[in-house]
């Protein structure tokens, strides 16, 4: 069984491409027996808590998480999760920059063959990259806690959808993002 997660919309947006992709995957009967789907809140505390509760309640072979990265032009396969959080203008302003967890590793590096996954995406004419930074917000926090659980993990940042495009920022169609997610969950095992 593979756990697939995504995030609800946050900030001023009513859309999050990761949520829409998750919902499409969940409706696909092809994945119903082999995958469990979970929508996470965009919150430093409850996002990781919901993820950890799911990971500890069932034996999963892997965890694949999707999130939104506005401003990026490619599907980003994240290599590194850091033990750090930053204040974000869209999130709780009481957040103070600092470690996610005291006295824990500063980072986890994903040693999986991300290049093979990137090449699979490129074969389908999908823009893809290996990114060395999942940021320092809730996406990174979820990735860090998944990797801390020692489960095979992957975090994927998706660009904005065209309807989210503001002032010429990069975007990628829903169909392309859904196809990318299908390729990734079928090849990350």
- Residues belonging to the active site: 78, 139, 157
Closest CA to 65 of 152, 174, 156: 156
Under DSSP, the state recorded for 163 is G
Strand 128-131 and strand 62-68: the pairing is unpaired
Distance separating the N- and C-terminal Cα atoms of the chain: 10
CA distance 169 to 163: 11
Q: List residues bridging with 39 in a β-sheet.
A: 6
Helix/strand/coil for 47: helix
Q: Give how far the C-alpha of residue 115 lies from the chain's centroid of Cα atoms, to the nearest Å.
A: 17
């Amino acid at each position: 069984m593979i756990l697939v997660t995504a995030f609800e919309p946050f900030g001023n947006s009513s859309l999050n491409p990761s949520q829409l992709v998750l919902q499409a995957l969940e409706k696909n009967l092809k994945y119903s027996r082999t995958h469990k789907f979970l929508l996470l809140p965009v919150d430093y505390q409850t996002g990781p808590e919901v993820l950890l509760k799911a990971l500890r309640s069932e034996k999963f072979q892997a965890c694949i998480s999707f999130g939104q990265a506005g401003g990026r032009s490619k599907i980003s396969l994240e290599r590194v999760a850091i033990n750090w959080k930053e204040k974000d203008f869209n999130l709780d302003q009481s957040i103070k920059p600092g470690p996610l967890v005291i006295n824990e590793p500063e980072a986890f590096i994903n040693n999986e063959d991300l290049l093979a996954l990137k090449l699979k995406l490129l074969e389908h004419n999908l823009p893809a990259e290996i990114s060395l930074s999942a940021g320092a917000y809730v996406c990174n926090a979820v990735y860090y806690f998944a990797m801390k659980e020692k489960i095979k993990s992957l975090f994927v940042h998706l660009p904005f959808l065209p309807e989210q495009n503001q002032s010429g920022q990069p975007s990628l169609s829903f169909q392309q993002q859904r196809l990318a997610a299908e390729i990734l969950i079928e090849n990350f095992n």
